[in-house]
Amino acid sequence: MSELNAESTAFRAALDVVRDVDPRIADAIAKELHDQRESLKLIASENYASPAVLLAMGNWLSDKYAEGTIGRRFYAGCQNVDTVESIAVEHAKALFDAPYAYVQPHSGIDANLVAYWAILADRVEVPYLKKFEKRQINDLTDAEWAELRAAFGNQRMLGMSLDAGGHLTHGFRPNISGKMFDQRSYGVDAATGQIDYAALRETAKEFKPAVIVGGYSAYPRKVNFATMREIADEVGATFMVDMAHFAGLVAGKVFTGDFNPIPHAHIVTTTTHKSLRGPRGGAVFAQPELADQVDRGCPMVLGGPLAHVMAAKAIAFAEARRPEFAGYAQRIVDNSQALATGLLNRGATLVSGGTDNHLVLVDVDKYGLTGRQAEQALLDSGIVTNRNSIPQDPNGAWYTSGIRVGTPALTSRGLGTAEMDQIADLMHTVLSSTKPGASKAKFDLDPAIADRVSKQANEMLGAFPLYPSVDLGI
């Protein structure tokens, strides 16, 4: 028998150790790899992290509490966590050419909360309440907190509307940001489906927000962050960008100049697991004047940092600094555009008519379907997508009228533009063969068609093995 490579040996050994305690967990982990290998994954926010990223997470760094910041912890014995966090920060700053990075957030929501707190704390300290100027915000009494909350006064946020592609954490009620802030939305131009910067400027002038949030989770176009910063400056707002979805495109230098948020925003948040291909987690980048406030993220907003995940973030940032990552980032967009072209050629309607980034938003109302019906019909045919609102969505946020598809994961797997055209064909076949049913969730799709598409999708995937270096031997 030939010798196993390092990745197979490592994952097999890890599963054996886990199996000794509860085989069901080892089986579920192994089955997840099997299921991912079989799945045509078009979820725009998912990806496949490298074996090095995955392996960096399974170790005793997980056992250490390290609240605080590098070299200034609330616990003793954090020297190795300091090393790991320092290296992650070093790679993050170099990767994004950012003056400051904070790599502790556990998720994108956490990163946004850290940023919101930092923005509010920064804005209140000097301009609003002279008497608190010299105080640490953490040392205030309850009475002073009450006074401070009243003094914050302008807690207005201007963010992208949900149906235009904004995210719940950009000031919407199901998220705490919708309670912290009085939110107003900017949207897209009805004709172009693209951000209407003139309307955004007018809304900003009238609403006078403390914070303008750029970024999205379902907008298929580039955003001009230079213009948004100009607008923020005109109204005295802090400009924050949530680049969770497109961080990999910034890291890979596909989004540069006016479209790179780092030089234009006061503060930028991200997740690390989407187009960036890292572990699940978040990070914050900021201009130096906000750094002290961001550093208070833990324990102000976050629980103890996950040192094992910070180790994996360091590996992911290091991988993204390699020259080949730029090629990967460009292929994500090439694939997305090929998928868009393939769908358009077959008669689909796309929000904004195409894409500049990693995602495509299909208007399935044009197929006579709700997003819910389309999502399930595609899933039944072996194609994993998610339903999403589209601008002025007639079906609301639950059923929706859109399907969001993204290419970061399949690009990691090695699929290219020819396969994207085939996928467009498979998607169009399913969507045009599906008939709406008695409710917004029910539909009718000939099982023979679903079966045929599923087999074709699987055949295509067979040529692009996922984690080819990992053989679990089962």
Q: Residue from 51, 68, 105, 108 that binds ligand DSN (CB under 6 A)? A: 108
Output the smallest distance, CB 45 to ligand DSN, in A: 3
Q: Which is nearer to ligand DSN, 132 or 216 (CB)?
A: 216
Per DSSP, the three-state class of 54 is helix
357 binds ligand DSN (CB under 6 A): no
Q: Which is nearer to ligand DSN, 217 or 270 (CB)?
A: 217
Question: Which residues does residue 183 pair with via DSSP β-bridges, in sequence order?
Answer: 157
| C-alpha span between 212 and 195 (Å, rounded) | 14
- Known catalytic residue: 75? no
Are 278 and 95 in contact by the 8 Å Cβ rule? The answer is no
112 binds ligand DSN (CB under 6 A): no
Output the smallest distance, CB 259 to ligand DSN, in A: 19
Q: Do the annotations mark residue 466 as ligand-binding?
A: no
What number of other Cβ atoms are within 10 A of residue 374's Cβ? 27
| C-alpha span between 304 and 345 (Å, rounded) | 51
Output the smallest distance, CB 49 to ligand DSN, in A: 16
Q: Which is nearer to ligand DSN, 108 or 408 (CB)?
A: 108
Q: Is the dihedral of CA 347, 353, 358, 362 positive or negative?
A: negative
Q: Which is nearer to ligand DSN, 11 or 172 (CB)?
A: 172
165 binds ligand DSN (CB under 6 A): no
Choose, from 38, 67, 82, 471, the residue flagged as catalytic.
67
Q: Which is nearer to ligand DSN, 108 or 281 (CB)?
A: 108
Name the pairing type of β-strands 267-271 and 282-286.
antiparallel
- Known catalytic residue: 271? yes
Output the smallest distance, CB 160 to ligand DSN, in A: 13
Output the smallest distance, CB 346 to ligand DSN, in A: 25
45 binds ligand DSN (CB under 6 A): yes
297 binds ligand DSN (CB under 6 A): no
Per DSSP, the three-state class of 58 is coil
Q: Do the annotations mark residue 410 as ligand-binding?
A: no
Choose, from 19, 65, 196, 435, the residue flagged as catalytic.
65
Choose, from 242, 363, 375, 393, the residue flagged as catalytic.
242
| C-alpha span between 118 and 83 (Å, rounded) | 25
Choose, from 203, 271, 341, 434, the residue flagged as catalytic.
271
The beta strand positions in 307-380, using DSSP E, are 359-363
Q: Do the annotations mark residue 167 as ligand-binding?
A: yes
Q: Which amino acid is residue 342, in one-letter code?
A: G
- Known catalytic residue: 242? yes
Output the smallest distance, CB 331 to ligand DSN, in A: 21
Name the DSSP letter for residue 124: I
217 binds ligand DSN (CB under 6 A): yes
Name the pairing type of β-strands 211-215 and 238-242.
parallel
* Residue carrying structure tokens 């680049």: 243
Q: CA-CA-CA-CA torsion for 422, 424, 425, 431, nearest 10 degrees? A: 150
DSSP 229-255: HHHHHHHT-EEEEE-TTTHHHHHTTSS
| C-alpha span between 161 and 163 (Å, rounded) | 6
- Known catalytic residue: 65? yes
Binding residue positions: 162, 166-168
**What positions carry a catalytic annotation?**
65, 67, 242, 271, 274, 280
Binding residue positions for (6S)-5,6,7,8-tetrahydrofolate: 162, 166-168
State the residues that interact with ligand DSN by CB under 6 A. Answer: 45, 108, 167, 217
